[in-house]
Amino acid sequence: MSARAITTVKTIVASVEEAGAGTKLFTLVDPDHWELPPFRPGAHIDLHLPNGLVRTYSLCNAPADNRRYVIAVKREAEGRGGSRALHDDVRVSNVIGVSLPRGGLGQDANITRHVFVAGGIGVTPFLSMARHLEATGQADFTLHLIVREEIPLAVHLASLIDQGRVVVHRTSIAGRPDLAQLVGEGGSQTLVACCGPESMTHDFEQVTAAWPAANVHIERFVAPPPVIDPDAKPFTLSLARTGTEIQVRAGQTMLAALQEGGIEVATSCCGGICGACKVGWLEGKPVHRDRILSPYERERYLMVCVAGSDGERLVLDL
């Protein structure tokens, strides 16, 4: 049984480009060279790799560049296998299914200043955002790129570095900069965003803790460790569209319970950071443990991979 349509788009690999620092750029296009589904600046897609893995990557190109999806992938020898598969096995003309794009920055006329903080390959979503802001002239922006020594995607960042739009901080020379100084004072017209290693995003969260949630955007490389609730109790999931009821055991995830019940749900990170398993909820009191939904979104959606229930029954829009 399928809980909802899980849409993938057929693409072919048009090019694979060496991009320095163990990184490759993969360009995906429609087989017939039609436009691809639109995306926001810095959105991400799930790649359904030939070996069966599903991995999430940020789009590097600007939304106006709508006939291709470009992703940058750093080969992680000790990772979960997705980057190794892309680097070692994927070639030009290979077919890869991708999800519809999700996430990224929306349009907000009130935002006049953007400050991006990236650690290493975490620059990828901000390259898309910077290109979009530069092309549209909507707002001022500065991208602080924190690296040990080598700049990832150096060729693609060169013009922005020359313009002073990208400021490179080499930790091998001066250590990691003070994040509070980089983001400056908060305000309703400033949006700050960060993508990088967990230690960096954790510190960024502390620095921006008092900012309005809508003005802070964080992307993560990997999901944090799962939250173990020693007081977890069993509860019932009621699926509004079919009337099906699914029992969730104490300590079991909603995702696992749905899958046991034959309900197909899109997944990728299984840790509350990618958004693949976002599902609407209608009644009950969910316990949100994801790291991606805004307070407004949590009034309507949850991530079944990590969310729980604070009551005996939770109704999902499935």
- Residue 195: HSE in the Cβ half-sphere, 13 Å Cα cutoff: 22
Q: Are residues 265 and 312 in the same domain?
A: yes
pLDDT in tens, the chain (318 residues): 444 445 789 999 999 999 987 899 999 999 999 999 999 999 999 999 888 888 899 999 999 999 999 999 999 877 777 899 999 999 999 999 999 998 888 777 788 899 999 999 999 999 999 999 988 886 789 999 999 999 999 999 999 999 999 999 999 998 889 999 999 987 788 999 999 998 999 999 999 999 988 899 888 877 777 777 788 899 999 999 999 999 999 989 999 999 999 998 888 788 888 888 999 999 999 999 988 887 888 999 999 999 999 999 999 999
End-to-end CA distance of the chain: 11
| Domain co-membership, 81 together with 175 | no
Does one domain contain both 185 and 267?
Answer: no
- Residue 174 CB burial class (10 angstroms; 0-12, 13-18, ≥19): exposed
Residues 142 and 241 in one domain: no
Whole-prediction pTM value?
0.81
| Residue 190, domain extent | 113-220
Assigned domain for 108 exists: no
If we measure between CA atoms, which residue out of 25, 310, 4 comes closest to residue 157?
25
Q: What CATH code is carried by the domain that includes residue 123?
A: 3.40.50.80
172 near 150, Cβ under 8 Å? no
The CATH number that applies at residue 250 is: 3.10.20.30
